[in-house]
Amino acid sequence: MSLLEVEGLRVRLPTTRGLVTVVDGVDYAVEHGEVFGVAGESGSGKTMSMLSLLGLLPDGAVVEGSVRFGEHDLLRMPRRRLREVAGRELAMVFQDPLTSLHPMLSIGRQLTEHVRLHLGLGRRDAERHALASLTDVRIPDPASALRAFPHQFSGGMRQRIAIAIALACRPKLLIADEPTTALDVTVQAGILRLLDRLRRENDLSVVLITHDLGVMSAIADRVSIFYAGKVVEAGSCEAVLSTPRHPYTRALLDALPHPEGLQDKPLVAIAGAPPSPGAIPSGCSFHPRCAYAQESCLHHVPPLVAMGDRLLACPIDPLVER
E-strand ranges in the chain read 4-15, 18-30, 35-39, 62-69, 72-73, 90-93, 173-177, 205-209, 222-227, 230-236, 305-307, 310-312
Binders of Mg ion among residues 218 to 247 (CB under 5 A) are: none
Q: Is 39 in the site for ligand ATP (CB under 6 A)?
A: no
Contact partner at residue 16 from Mg ion, ligand ATP, none, CB < 5 to 8 Å by partner kind: none
Query: Any contact of residue 18 with ligand ATP (CB under 6 A)?
Result: no
**CB 178 to ligand ATP: min, Å:** 6
Q: Give the residue with the Cβ less far from ligand ATP, 53 or 157.
A: 53
Q: Kindly state whether residue 211 participates in binding ligand ATP, applying the rule CB under 6 A.
A: yes
CA distance 256 to 1: 35
**Binds ligand ATP by CB under 6 A, chosen from 22, 163, 165, 207:** 22
Min dist. Cβ of residue 186 to ligand ATP (A): 23
The answer to whether 240 and 37 have CB atoms below 8 angstroms apart is no
Least distance (Å) from Mg ion to the CB of residue 87? Answer: 21
Q: How far apart are CA 176 and CA 206, in angstroms?
A: 7
Contact residue for ligand ATP among 37, 87, 97, 277 (CB under 6 A): 277
Q: Which is nearer to Mg ion, 47 or 224 (CB)?
A: 47
219 three-class SS: helix
Asked if 13 touches ligand ATP (CB under 6 A), the answer is: yes
**Distance between CA atoms of 243 and 249, rounded to whole angstroms?**
9
CB closer to Mg ion out of 170 and 211: 211
* Binds ligand ATP by CB under 6 A, chosen from 4, 34, 43, 220: 43
Query: Which residues within the stretch 25-84 sit at the binding site for Mg ion (CB under 5 A)?
Result: 47
Task: Name the residue type at position 217.
Answer: S
Q: In angstroms, rounded to a whole number, what is the distance separating the alpha carbons of residues 152 and 140?
A: 13
**Which member of 21, 44, 180, 217 binds ligand ATP (CB under 6 A)?**
44
Q: Please write down the HEC assignment for all residues of 260-287.
A: CCCCCCCCCCCCCCCCCCCCCCCCCCCH
Q: 105, 147 in Cβ contact below 8 A?
A: no
Q: Per rule CB under 6 A, is residue 21 in the interface with ligand ATP?
A: no
Q: In angstroms, what is the minimal distance from the CB of 44 to ligand ATP?
A: 4
Residue with Cβ nearer ligand ATP (257 or 266) = 257
Cα distance between residue 286 and residue 246, in whole Å: 10
Query: Binders of ligand ATP among 115-174, rule CB under 6 A?
Result: none
Core vs surface per residue 231-270: b (16+ CB within 10 A) or e: bbbbbebebbbebbbbbbbbbbbbebeebeeeeeeeeeeb
Binding site for Mg ion (CB under 5 A): 47
Binding site for ligand ATP (CB under 6 A): 13, 15, 22, 40, 42-48, 58, 211, 276-277
